[in-house]
Amino acid sequence: MSFNDNTQSVIVGGTSGIGRAVADALAQRPGTVTRASGSTGLDIADPQAIQAWFEQHGPVDHIVFTAGSQAPGGSVEEVDVEAAKAAFDIKFWGAIGVAQAAASHLRPGGTLTLTSGFLARRTVPGTFVKTAINAALEATVKLLAKELAPLRVNIVSPGLTDTEAYSAMDDEKRRQMLESTAAKLPAGRVAQPEDVAAGYLFAIDNLSMTGAIIDIDGGALIN
Ligand SMILES: NC(=O)c1ccc[n+]([C@@H]2O[C@H](COP(=O)([O-])OP(=O)(O)OC[C@H]3O[C@@H](n4cnc5c(N)ncnc54)[C@H](OP(=O)(O)O)[C@@H]3O)[C@@H](O)[C@H]2O)c1
């Protein structure tokens, strides 16, 4: 669907990192872009808050969901289950709550684009929670694409991307992590938020794309 002055786009997670880059890119087009997150007053761990938010802001044409980058590490045996459930409440159940709202608040021709991550399909011990959340979302997006058709539903799967998700790290350790990952990746670089944002624009613009997983991971899955 082409963009015009009435086009409404919502980026849940649009205040930081990848979501902010998507929102900034869509803001260059005609229409209105709304960024929603905890700091703008929407807690996506609260399903009723999601419904209320969309009742107030709908109808909309494009919804992008990038919220919730944090999850506890640890093996399946050792993981902090309460922290894991809290991470699921934000990224997995938050995405499902937004998909439920999308079903009734997206206009014909609309799109929903979710976010997973390369750990969905890469077996790295100690990353169980991220793997489980992202794999669950990738499976669900294919069901959603059928159930919500002709609305289009896709998912972008980033690899390591240089965002505020790592702002709690010591600067030097963060720099070393980014450089050592870049050196190992086939693409020879770690993605910037704008690289990953391009995947969401592709999903929104390509009228034949639905049920797709778009990998933008520097080659992490073929490593
Ligand atoms: N960066 C990477 O290396 C990487 C790799 C693979 C996958 N991904 C995935 O890509 C997505 C975006 O990651 P990112 O690096 O851009 O993350 P980020 O910079 O940390 O941004 C996360 C966003 O989520 C929002 N958020 C967190 N909790 C929320 C809540 N309860 N309610 C509403 N909003 C909430 C934050 O806003 P507030 O603080 O205002 O709530 C922020 O806008 C995530 O799904 C992440 O798992 C990232």
For 52-90, write each residue's pLDDT tens digit. 999 999 899 999 999 999 999 999 999 999 999 999 999
User: Measured in angstroms, how far is the CA atom of residue 18 from the centroid of ligand 1?
Assistant: 8
User: In Å, how far from its chain's centre is CA 116?
Assistant: 6
Where are the chain's structural domains?
8-214
Choose which residue among 10, 12, 15, 16 to substitute to test ligand 1 binding: the one with the highest number of ligand atoms within 8 A of its C-beta.
16
CA angle (118 as vertex; 112, 123 as ends), nearest 5: 140
Position 120 pLDDT exceeds 70:
yes
Task: Please report how many Cα atoms fall inside a 13 Å half-sphere around the Cα of residue 205, on the Cβ side.
Answer: 10
214 CA to centre of ligand 1 in angstroms = 18
Four-way CATH pick for 8-214: 3.40.50.300, 3.20.20.70, 3.30.499.10, 3.40.50.720: 3.40.50.720
pTM of the predicted model as reported, rounded to 2 decimal places = 0.98
Pairing of strands 152-158, 32-36: unpaired
Q: Is 213 helix (H, G, I), strand (E, B) or coil?
A: strand
* Residues 7-44 pLDDT 10s: 999 999 999 999 999 999 999 999 999 999 999 999 99
Q: How confident is the model at residue 1 (pLDDT cuts 50, 70, 90)?
A: low
Give Cα separations from 103 to 36, 74, 204, 220 (angstroms).
18, 35, 16, 33
* Residue 127 DSSP code: B
Q: Tell me the C-alpha distance between 68 and 97, whole Å.
A: 13
- Please say whether the beta carbons of 196 and 217 come within 8 A: no
User: How far, in Å, is the centroid of ligand 1 from the Cα of 2?
Assistant: 28
Bridge partner list, 32: 8
- The answer to whether the Cα torsion of 212, 124, 162, 14 is positive or negative is positive
Protein residues with CB under 6 Å of any ligand 1 atom: 13, 15-19, 37-39, 42-45, 66-69, 90-91, 115, 117, 158, 160-161, 163-165
